[in-house]
Amino acid sequence: MLWVKTLHILMIAGWLTGSFVVPRGLIFAKREYDELGRTGQAFDLTYRVYRFSAGLAIIAAITGFWLAIPYLSDGWFHIKLTLVAALAIHYIYTGLMLRQLRLAQLQKSERFLRIFNEVSVLLAFAIIALVLFKP
Ligand code: HEM
């Protein structure tokens, strides 16, 4: 189980990196789009990080459910799953905004993107506290 947990934590670290970096990259990619009238290198890098981290998220979920076998009826675990679902929705929405930018349809302001960027940090904080305290 400790090897599975090791893998889980590593995959989570990778996915969280994507969750924190991609919304920030989106701000740069949008500025780049406004300047060039098309997507450029900032968009390409952001999109690659997004795709790579999405793969890590899947392994994180598989290892997470493996570890979850003894906790399936625990209250803290249900709250964790709800918060993880919120983080996943946040990530999927980030991907939708990347797609909108490529299609020249992204209408979001930089202020919105900056606030959106912080949401994943708050969710990650709550999830990590939850697994450690198991209230
Ligand atoms: C579907 C997704 C996930 C499931 C089912 C899941 C489930 C679990 C379970 C059951 C454990 C073992 C707890 C223990 O033995 O004490 C664990 C450990 C852990 N999880 Fe997840 N997890 C998921 C996603 C996440 C996410 C998104 C994060 C961070 C934001 C995260 C952070 C951690 C950490 C830091 C530990 C190690 C806690 C420790 O033992 O010290 N997990 N996870």
CA of 64 to the centre of ligand 1 (A): 6
pLDDT tens readout for residues 82-104: 999 999 999 999 999 999 999 99
Output the six-digit token pair for 40.
Answer: 């450029």
CA of 59 to the centre of ligand 1 (A): 12
Return d(Cα 87, Cα 23) in angstroms, integer. Answer: 13
Return d(Cα 90, Cα 99) in angstroms, integer. Answer: 14
The answer, yes or no, to whether any atom of ligand 1 lies below 6 A from the CB of 8, is yes
Q: What is the pLDDT of residue 120?
A: 96
Output the six-digit token pair for 71.
Answer: 């906790």
Task: Note the pTM of the prediction, 2 decimals.
Answer: 0.93
The answer, yes or no, to whether any atom of ligand 1 lies below 6 A from the CB of 18, is no
**CA separation (Å) from 104 to 29, 34, 95, 115?**
12, 10, 14, 21
Q: What is the pLDDT of residue 8?
A: 98
Output the six-digit token pair for 30.
Answer: 């949008």
What secondary structure, in 3-state letters, does 115-131 show? HHHHHHHHHHHHHHHHH
Q: What is the pLDDT of residue 82?
A: 98
